[in-house]
Amino acid sequence: HILLISIVVVTRQPNRPQMFSGESITLTCEVQGGETTEWTCEWRRDGKTVKVGNDKHLTVSVNESSSEEYMCQCRRRDDWFSVTKWSEKIPVSVSGESYFWGAILTIDPNWSTFHPGESVTFICDMNEGKDTDWEYEIKKNGEQFLRSNPYKSFTLLPIQIDHSDEYQCCGLRKSSGDTKCSDTVSLTVTAQPKPTLTAGPTTIPVGGSVTLSCSLPSAGWKYKWYIRTKNTPEVQLTDEENRDINVAQAGIYRCLGMRGNENYQSLVSDEVSITISFSNKVVVTRQPNWPQMFSGESITLTCEVQGGETTDWTCEWRRDGKTVKMGNDKHLTVNVNESSSEEYMCQCRRRDDWHSLTKWSEKIPVSVSGESYFFFVMTSPTCNKTRQLVLVGAQRLAERRPEKSVQNPLNCLVAEMCSANSKHSLNILIIFHSSDKVFVFFFSLSAGV
């Protein structure tokens, strides 16, 4: 089974704090953020199933012995294995067979929190005689708020922040002048809310998907979803109104909430970017590909997307985790110095789809070995072989540091070596290179020495 994160709330109608023997109450199973989804709901009383069906309502008749707890859970009709969590338990109990028929004030809609610009309706039930037998008024914090009126319903529009308070309704019986008042009801008004947009992973593989969730703190919301990319303007996802949606398209998403026949809207959420990660492997190559680098030298790193040679990429380079270059050029030239000891990695995005990108390459270390080194060591018992090795060594040194050419001096040294060479000797030539000098050492060891 897949457990959905949508919150399930049970509402009561009528929403009175007490029930009395012989009365009925209707419980409704509300899946917040799932108003446009078709559900099959299960009701349990004291842990035992009492109803399963496509109707989200449950009518309960109470009697003297009633003292029960109800809860509900819903499944998607088009996916039986996707279910919500269970709601909290709702107690339903009887207060007795008879009671004083006092006035009751209810508010519609029955939300815990309202926001400036919305409307609320106060409904005053006297529970005695006809509605027309009474004149009604609404009190706020004990003082008259809405004057005497022949109608039991009052609509407050638009609500403002300073309307947060305790409200009470009172009725004046026209025939006798008797007055009775309800208990107080709290009305809470807060600033226009901003939804919180969350995602699972923000990077998904090709062919994958992710669930986005748009959350507001109170009930009754439907949602609008928007998407844009770097190259396209923002558009609304017209077929989505749920709090949670599943997306497989890369882009930048936002959402907002609406309620009250969609006449009231929340602020717009912050953006969440969803990117698609290609499985292509990214490899960094080095030119020249020497195992060691020395102070003052340069190396060119190239970001290669294997299997993506025909695609146009924009590549980002990072050095020790910080971006040092981003552009359509896949190369990065690095100059090393005495203190160089760094790691480089790269990642590329498609130029025609900024939200489709590769994974990061492995980290490539680039470090300096020092200002000096032994460049070439050779041994040979023959003159011709020694000449060949010396010339190869001189060529390699010229490739590495062309300004330090030693080929002519070495040729002279080889000639001197050959004139005194013995077939029983072992010749060793060492080229030692520093940042500003080249040293050449020659040793000729005779057999038996």
Q: What is residue 165's predicted lDDT score, i.e. its pLDDT?
A: 94
Determine the residue type at 382: T
Q: What is residue 429's predicted lDDT score, i.e. its pLDDT?
A: 56
Give the whole-angstrom CA distance, residue 412 versus residue 421: 14
Query: In this predicted structure, which of 163-172, 191-200, 356-365, 411-420 has the lowest mean pLDDT?
Result: 411-420
The predicted-structure confidence for 416-444, as pLDDT tens digits, reads as follows 555 544 454 555 555 555 444 555 555 55
> Rounded mean pLDDT of 389-396?
58
> Rounded mean pLDDT of 263-281?
88
3-state secondary structure 104-156: EEEEECCCCCECCCCCEEEEEECCCCCHHHEEEEEEECCEEEEEEECCCEEEE
By residue count, the chain amounts to: 449
Q: How far is CA 375 from the centre of its chain?
A: 53
Strands 272-277 and 353-357: parallel
**At a CB cut-off of 8 Å and minimum separation 6, what does 29 contact?**
8, 10, 39, 41, 43, 56, 57, 58, 72, 74, 87
Q: What is residue 106's predicted lDDT score, i.e. its pLDDT?
A: 92
Query: In this predicted structure, which of 110-119, 201-210, 313-322, 429-438 has the lowest mean pLDDT?
Result: 429-438
241 φ, ψ (degrees, to nearest 5): -130, -5
Half-sphere CA count of 110, side-chain side, radius 13 A: 13
Query: In this predicted structure, which of 3-17, 92-106, 116-130 has the lowest mean pLDDT?
Result: 92-106
Task: Say yes or no to pLDDT of 367 above 50.
Answer: yes
CB-CB contact of 284 with 275 (8 Å): no
Query: In this predicted structure, which of 291-295, 296-300, 307-311 has the lowest mean pLDDT?
Result: 291-295
CB-CB contact of 123 with 151 (8 Å): no
Q: What is residue 302's predicted lDDT score, i.e. its pLDDT?
A: 93
Pick the residue with more confidence: 338 or 281?
Answer: 281
Give the whole-angstrom CA distance, residue 265 versus residue 118: 9
State the fold for domain 104-187: Immunoglobulin-like (2.60.40)
Domain ranges (residues) in the chain: 2-93, 104-187, 196-277, 282-367, 373-446
Q: What is residue 389's predicted lDDT score, i.e. its pLDDT?
A: 58
Give the whole-angstrom CA distance, residue 112 versus residue 219: 8
The predicted-structure confidence for 336-360, as pLDDT tens digits, reads as follows 876 667 899 999 888 877 777 888 9
Give the whole-angstrom CA distance, residue 32 versus residue 22: 32
Instruction: For domain 196-277, give the CATH number.
Output: 2.60.40.10
State the fold for domain 2-93: Immunoglobulin-like (2.60.40)
The predicted-structure confidence for 222-240, as pLDDT tens digits, reads as follows 999 999 987 789 999 877 7
> Rounded mean pLDDT of 320-348?
87
Query: Closest Cα to residue 447, out of 429, 425, 422?
Result: 425
Instruction: Given CATH 3.40.50.300, say whether it is the number of domain 282-367.
Output: no
